[in-house]
Amino acid sequence: AVLCLYHMRRWNNVIVLCRSFNDATCFAFATTFLPLIIGAQSQVCNLSSRALANTERYLAEAKSIFEADQKALPRKVLRQLALQGELSEPEKLFKKRLTYYDDLLKRQKRLHAVWDQFLQALESSRALVARAVPAAMEQLRSSRIMLAEYLQGRQAFANRIARGLIADGEKLGQERALRLASVALVSSYRKAVELLRKRQMTELVVQALHELGNLQWLEGDSSGAQTSWSDAVDAAYQHVYAIKNWQKCVESAVAPPQTANRAEMMLLSVVVLAKHARLTTPKDSTAHLHAALFASSILEAILTNSLPHPSHRILFSLDKYRLREIFCGLRESRLLLPPNAVHGGVDGLVFLGALAFFHDTLLVANYQLSRCLPVCSLYNYIATDICRNLSLVVKGRLLMAHALIKSQAFDSAWFVLYGISKSHDQPRSLLASEVMDRMIAEMPDVASGSPYTPYRTSEEPFSENNKQALNQLFEFSISPGDQEARDAVGSHNLNSFQLLLMQFVISIGSSGRVFTKVGDVEEVERLGWLEKADGKLRELWKEVTGNEDDIEALASADTAEGDQQLAMPANALGEQESELCIEIRLLLAHAWEARGDLGRAVLEVLYAMRFVQVLATTNVKTSQDCNMGGSSYLRIHPGAKVWNALRRRMVQLLVAQGRYKAADAHIEQGLQECQSSNDDITRIDLLASKVRVDVMQGHLLELRGSRMSGAIPAAQCCIILAAKRLPVPPACAVVAKAVLSQLLEQNPALAELAGAASPSASEQLAQVIAGYGKGDDPNETLLLDAQGKIIVSPIAQAMQSKGGGKAEAGLWQKLDEMMTQCLCELDSLLAIRGFELHPHHLNGLFDIDACSMPLVAGEGSGGGSQDRLGLLPKAWAGFVERPVSDAREPPNIYLELMPLRLHCELRLVRLKLDVGSMQEAEEILREAESRLSRCVFLLPWLYVQFCIMKFQWRRLTYQLGFARESPPPDAPNDAIYRDPKAFADGKCPPTDSPLFRTFVQRARAPSLALGSEWVPPAARKGEDDLSRFLQELVEVLGMAAKGGGHDYAQ
């Protein structure tokens, strides 16, 4: 269009169109349009010069005409005009022409000067562009042109080979030509990168290195692609070895972006990280996990630090927030997702594939799962608003639901599954008008005619609301009208949706509930849910594989006849379908475990492991099958991460079943497999399981030569590995540390022996692996016993010299530090999840008391006027009713880390009570009491232990003289309002009350759960405190008896 206008000499239209196009494309094509603008502006300046010349010519002609006409007048007329002071007619005409032409000439000169200045600016810009980056930009531009031509030729060559149109001789010649072209192209890109680095053009350096890595990977040069992509990440954050030292890079270099260009480059680095981890280190599971953590940190730096995005990752769930833009002013199609281009950024499928890879990595590792939520939110935005593809949209929301279920955010997961079943927030066409967003939780179900009942994580599963929500969940379905609509959604998405529904039900039904009555109604209902989910999963297995479930044949097969061979799936399975089958088997094992049949659960996991082995023999492609260079093999079945997850699950079930020798054998095999796959998560989990196995078998600390084995070395190795290889130790490492603390407390003599030689983590791991199969020979032991040459081990000698007495003060301090570290690590894991034990009450000052608090003794809100609480809390009393102004969300009682956190707190309280730290013990016990209500189906053992600790603390406070009690009702006001319970109800006095300032300084938000008495009130007449105490004690004893299975009344 510009060229047509240029040949038509429409200079103004050429300039306007070029400038508008440059503005619309962010000056991406300025170098192409600058010569056209300069040529058009030069013509405008030439026309202006001609206009100036014409005006000056008109002035000269007017003057010459005036002089001629003036001379033609008689002298008499001129003398009369001079005496009268008048002008002649020629002079009047000349003055009039002079005024008109002078004004026109002045304006023309001013406009001509402006046009000349604009022309000089354009020429200067072109000169600067040509002089500033002639070599770097031109080299990159020519490299990209060569890249497009090379890819086009390679694709044409592959198509001709597939059709059989090329002879063998011609094939060899073209392959050699393509190989030489790729070498020249790699050289051209490297030269462009070098020139761009000299000019410090970071954005283009990252793009060039990304494209160079893509080319090298396409040619089969994996090491070269790894180096290029690693350099691209280093250049993006100006940090040496950023991928290797990603934690330091996040702390120092990953800052919230200030411009849209910086945000684009950070998002491009996320894609480069995925390619580096997935393609160049396929066997390194730890590298995949670190890349996922690094990428999630980058995405959170972009999303959580700019408005209107939430400030915490847990708030990115679809029922709380819908992402509508990544960064203010960022245009995704400029660099990140360019349409129809082979250079610059990536296409939508590659970007979404990178996000899905990080999501799956975190889920398989079961580590910091809430980091998946911003990733899924970004996936949903790109799929819905940019790609506008229904299948990708459903897949993104299924990824979100999967992460929410694994994170125990069942309320948000229920809403996401409900939105998928109702086809909420579908992709709109480009010409559709924008509408106001509404949250799913606020939208009534108008289509079905009946209001939905969402699941509430603040209530137990058997509440009326939650039972109704689960029954509704079984009815959810994605049921498009015709086959074309089903194909648009995708069969894999339909199957994944059914899988997530059953995973939701099984996760709810697997809560550790202790029932004390045979034929319990709630237990029968729970088993019904699990059996229904089991049937749905077996139907899904048949639909995905095309085979009937043949696990019964595996269960009935005679082991003496050899391993039962599994039948090959009738349907062709890709990697996604294979992983879906593994998920089905793991859920079936989970369901059997929840029903108490651990043997069937082990069989389900064993079936899944054999299924992976069957797939590994068939689902393999060569690099030539995918039109790639090199001689590598590409798998289309689940990889080492899934296999290691199955190994971890098998060990957990075997330990729970009490088959310690079988578990030990699987641990040995798993540790050897971790050496090849470099899976630190599996390694740490297996070492934690080994600690438990060794403790149950009595192998605490054994010495064979200079090598130590047993539970204590395994626990130390597990703790050191978790501290060095991961940013936050996982829960299994925390359990190993707590077990180590318990062992050292029970066996104080082992503390010095275990800490005498502290090798590195790698040396300890080598000792643990070397310990398998190195046991004592029974024949050798009998021979030495007969000869009287049995040597007492140094451990036994040290324990005999120590006398096995109680631990010293230094050891108690060490144990205290270990348990404190356990609590801090669990708090870090809960903080990642977004948990707050005492959430901030935003409207704490809005709950105003109706009347002003009087300053009369006994009539305030002191402890004397409050209802009496029990000395012990209820095992499950629910949460208190809150006023409408209370903005705190109901707590989530399904967090799996909460019972472990409570257990560690009680152990630390016992250590504090042993050394007499009453105040610290009280603070921890108060926290533990608040945590009791955060555990769904609180174990009776934990509740009884809490009651024991509180009884001991209360008795010691009275013995040591630390006991306190509330002032009596007739006490002075200063004593009443200094009582901690003075403002326990959270009622704020009016602002004109003298108590308002005291309330603001001393009051805290009322607890969400019903508590117990910590500062006993003053004695009242007619009340028998001893009877109340004995009654509560009898209730605790009854719960201990029934919870322990000793209810002889039934």
* 347-383 confidence digits (pLDDT tens): 889 999 999 999 999 999 999 999 999 999 999 999 9
Buried b / exposed e over 4-32, threshold 16 CB at 10 Å, is ebbeeeebebbbebbeebbeeeeeeebee
Mean pLDDT of 6-18: 91
DSSP state of 848: B
Verify cis geometry, omega within 30 degrees of 0, for the bond prior to 308: yes
As a whole-number percent, the residues of the chain with pLDDT over 70 amount to 85
* 230-263 confidence digits (pLDDT tens): 999 999 999 999 999 999 999 999 999 999 999 9
pLDDT number for residue 655: 95
Mean pLDDT of 323-343: 83
Amino acid at residue number 982: A
Structure tokens at 727: 């940013």
Mean pLDDT of 937-955: 89
Structure tokens at 9: 């000499």
Instruction: State the Cα–Cα distance between residues 772 and 999, nearest whole angstrom.
Output: 64
* Residue 753 reports pLDDT greater than 70: no
Rounded (10°) angle between helices 134-163 and 168-198: 160
Sign of the CA dihedral running 25, 29, 34, 40: negative
pLDDT number for residue 848: 66
Phi, psi of 326 (to 5 degrees): -85, -50
Number of Cβ within a 10 Å radius of residue 578: 24
DSSP 615-635: HHTTSEEEGGGGT-SSS-EEE
Mean pLDDT check: name the lowest of 69-83, 123-137, 1026-1040: 123-137
pLDDT number for residue 794: 53
Contacts (Cβ under 8 Å, ≥6 apart) of 860: 853, 854, 973, 976, 977, 982, 995
Quote the strand ranges of 905-1044, DSSP E: none
Residue 148, CA distances (Å) to 214, 973, 994 in order: 13, 85, 79
SS3 percent helix, strand, coil of the chain, rounded to 5, is 65, 0, 35
pLDDT number for residue 859: 39
DSSP 462-510: TSHHHHHHHHHHTT-----SSHHHHHHH-HHHHHHHHHHHHHHHHHHHT
* Residue 316 reports pLDDT greater than 70: yes
Mean pLDDT check: name the lowest of 397-406, 454-463, 863-872, 908-917: 863-872
* 640-658 confidence digits (pLDDT tens): 899 999 999 999 999 999 9
pLDDT number for residue 791: 47
* Residue 863 reports pLDDT greater than 60: no
Mean pLDDT check: name the lowest of 285-294, 680-689, 772-781: 772-781
Rounded (10°) angle between helices 1025-1043 and 940-960: 150
pLDDT number for residue 589: 95
Contacts (Cβ under 8 Å, ≥6 apart) of 825: 728, 729, 733, 734
Rounded (10°) angle between helices 372-381 and 390-406: 170
Q: Catalogue the long-range contacts made by 534-537 (C-beta closer than 8 Å, 24 or more residues apart).
A: 534/588, 534/591, 536/498, 536/501, 536/502, 537/499, 537/502, 537/584, 537/587, 537/588, 537/591
**Longest CA pairwise span in the chain (Å):** 164
Q: Locate tokens 């013990």: which residue?
A: 921
* 16-75 confidence digits (pLDDT tens): 998 888 888 777 677 788 889 999 999 999 999 999 999 899 888 988 988 888 888 888
Cβ pair 837, 931 in contact under 8 A: yes
* Residue 864 reports pLDDT greater than 50: no
Name the residue among 663, 609, 599 with its Cα closest to residue 637. 609
Query: Pairing mode, if any, of strands 707-709 and 702-704?
Result: antiparallel
Work out the pLDDT band at 443, boundaries 50, 70, 90.
low
* 517 three-class SS: coil
Q: What's the pTM value of the predicted model, to 2 decimals?
A: 0.83
Contacts (Cβ under 8 Å, ≥6 apart) of 562: none
pLDDT number for residue 860: 40
Cβ pair 510, 527 in contact under 8 A: no
* Residue 749 reports pLDDT greater than 50: yes
Mean pLDDT check: name the lowest of 113-127, 426-440, 679-693: 426-440
On average, the pLDDT of the chain sits at 84
Name the residue among 859, 844, 874 with its Cα closest to residue 943. 874
Query: For the CA atoms of the chain, what is the radius of gyration?
Result: 39
In sequence order, the β-bridge partners of residue 622 are 633
* Residue 407 reports pLDDT greater than 70: yes
pLDDT number for residue 213: 94
Nearest-5° Cα angle at 801, 800 to 807: 90
Cβ pair 395, 383 in contact under 8 A: yes
Instruction: State the Cα–Cα distance between residues 1032 and 1038, nearest whole angstrom.
Output: 10
Say which residue, 920 or 783, is predicted with more confidence. Answer: 920
DSSP 114-152: HHHHHHHHHHHHHHHHHHHSHHHHHHHHHHHHHHHHHHH
Three-state SS sequence of 295-353: HHHHHHHHHCCCCCCCCCHHHHCCCCCCCCCCCCCCCCCCCCCCCCCCCCCCCHHHHHH
* Residue 1020 reports pLDDT greater than 70: no
Contacts (Cβ under 8 Å, ≥6 apart) of 298: 250, 254, 266, 269, 270, 273
Mean pLDDT check: name the lowest of 353-362, 443-452, 597-606, 909-918: 443-452
* Residue 798 reports pLDDT greater than 50: yes
* Residue 582 reports pLDDT greater than 90: yes
* Residue 789 reports pLDDT greater than 60: no
In sequence order, the β-bridge partners of residue 1009 are 879
pLDDT number for residue 508: 93
Q: Catalogue the long-range contacts made by 465-470 (C-beta closer than 8 Å, 24 or more residues apart).
A: 466/508, 467/525, 469/414, 470/505, 470/508, 470/529
pLDDT number for residue 991: 78
